[in-house]
């Protein structure tokens, strides 16, 4: 709760609105002036009176729709007529009770599906993966971005090697073994990748920090950091291999040519 008290939901026509919806889509005069909703304001939901008694900070939804909390009976009045208005019942396990065991007990007793928080999350994710085109669209965008990024990063690093080819040739002409030149390329590739990965993840984290003030949902888990690091390492390794092939086949006498 950011403003108000949850007990106020027992007042007539009372609702609690998430702060993003209160400042955007449910704001007064939307989308012109966008005066945020405040406690005491009265709005209409499907031609029914609703009074704002609180502002809360709720988790972002996938569809970026405003979130409203109220009593179940009042929600039935707000919602349009449908055959079934109840989506699911949220249950909290007592302390010391295993949620998975509790879900199994509920399922055996009622004959209805019951999930713990983790299973319910993956049930939702699998639905979008299986029955919508969202993963394909996002997947294609990510794949194209990865391919383009790989090409640009690899070409940039390869051009860097070509620009400094005469210096590498100087080391070879001075008697430096090929293994030393290889280590130089790999170390340069490592530092370029590490700096680029740090800047990229830092910018993503900063962007995610500011999305909490918008309708967008943002999650940056540890495995995304790991996956991005592996991807950057793969790109650097690939560009290094191409650069090393150029150095292995170069003529050390190039340093003596103008």
- Is residue 211 within 8 A of residue 205, CB to CB? The reply is no
DSSP class of residue 158 equals H
The answer on pLDDT for 117 being more than 80 is: yes
The answer on pLDDT for 252 being more than 70 is: no
Tally of CA atoms within 13 A in the half-sphere of 193 that contains its CB: 21
pLDDT band at 39 (very low <50, low <70, confident <90, very high): very high
Torsion of CA 100, 101, 105, 111, to 10 degrees: 30
**pLDDT tens column, 141-199:** 888 988 887 788 778 777 877 777 777 777 777 877 878 888 888 888 888 888 988 99
pLDDT at 20: 83
- Is residue 47 within 8 A of residue 81, CB to CB? The reply is no
In the chain, which residue ranges form alpha helices assigned H by DSSP?
19-23, 72-78, 99-110, 117-131, 134-163, 165-173, 178-210, 222-248
pLDDT at 256: 62
Token pair 């009372």 is at which residue?
A: 14
d(Cα 252, Cα 174) in Å, to the nearest integer?
Answer: 9
178-210 and 222-248 helices, crossing angle to 10°:
150
d(Cα 181, Cα 194) in Å, to the nearest integer?
Answer: 20
pLDDT at 68: 92
No. of H helices and E strands in the chain? 8, 5
User: 51 - beta bridge partners?
Assistant: 14, 42
pLDDT at 236: 81
pLDDT at 157: 75
**pLDDT tens column, 45-64:** 888 899 999 999 887 766 66
d(Cα 216, Cα 61) in Å, to the nearest integer?
Answer: 8
pLDDT at 257: 62
**pLDDT tens column, 189-247:** 888 888 988 998 999 889 888 877 776 777 888 888 898 888 888 888 887 777 777 77
Average pLDDT over residues 88-111: 91
The answer on pLDDT for 114 being more than 90 is: yes
User: 183 - beta bridge partners?
Assistant: none
- Model pTM score: 0.56
pLDDT at 31: 57
Q: What are phi and psi of 65, to 5 degrees?
A: -95, 150
DSSP class of residue 51 equals E
**pLDDT tens column, 2-31:** 999 999 999 999 999 998 888 888 877 655
pLDDT at 258: 52
Tally of CA atoms within 13 A in the half-sphere of 120 that contains its CB: 13
pLDDT at 115: 92
Q: What is the longest distance spanned by two Cα atoms in the chain?
A: 90
């Amino acid at each position: 709760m950011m403003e108000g008290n949850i007990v106020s939901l027992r007042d007539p026509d009372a609702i609690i609105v998430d702060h993003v919806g209160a400042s955007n889509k449910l704001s007064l005069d939307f989308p012109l002036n966008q005066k945020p909703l405040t406690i005491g304001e009265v709005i209409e939901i499907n031609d029914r009176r609703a009074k704002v008694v609180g502002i809360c900070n709720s988790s972002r939804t996938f569809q970026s729709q405003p979130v409203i909390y109220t009593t179940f009976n009042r929600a039935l009045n707000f919602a349009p007529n449908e055959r079934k208005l109840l989506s699911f019942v949220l249950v909290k396990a007592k302390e010391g009770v295993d949620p998975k065991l509790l879900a199994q007990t509920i399922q055996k007793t009622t004959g209805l599906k019951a999930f713990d928080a983790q299973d319910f999350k993956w049930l939702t994710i699998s639905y979008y993966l299986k029955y919508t085109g969202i993963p394909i669209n996002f997947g294609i965008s990510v794949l194209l971005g990865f391919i383009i990024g790989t090409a640009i990063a690899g070409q940039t690093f390869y051009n860097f090697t070509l620009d400094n080819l005469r210096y590498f040739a100087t080391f070879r002409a001075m008697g430096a073994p090929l293994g030393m030149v290889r280590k130089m390329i790999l170390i340069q590739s490592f530092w370029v990748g590490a700096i680029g990965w740090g800047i990229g993840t830092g910018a993503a984290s900063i962007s995610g920090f500011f999305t909490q003030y918008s309708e967008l949902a943002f999650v940056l888990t540890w495995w995304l950091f790991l996956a991005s690091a592996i991807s950057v390492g793969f790109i650097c390794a690939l560009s290094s291999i191409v650069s090393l092939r150029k150095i292995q086949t170069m003529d050390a006498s190039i340093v003596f040519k103008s």
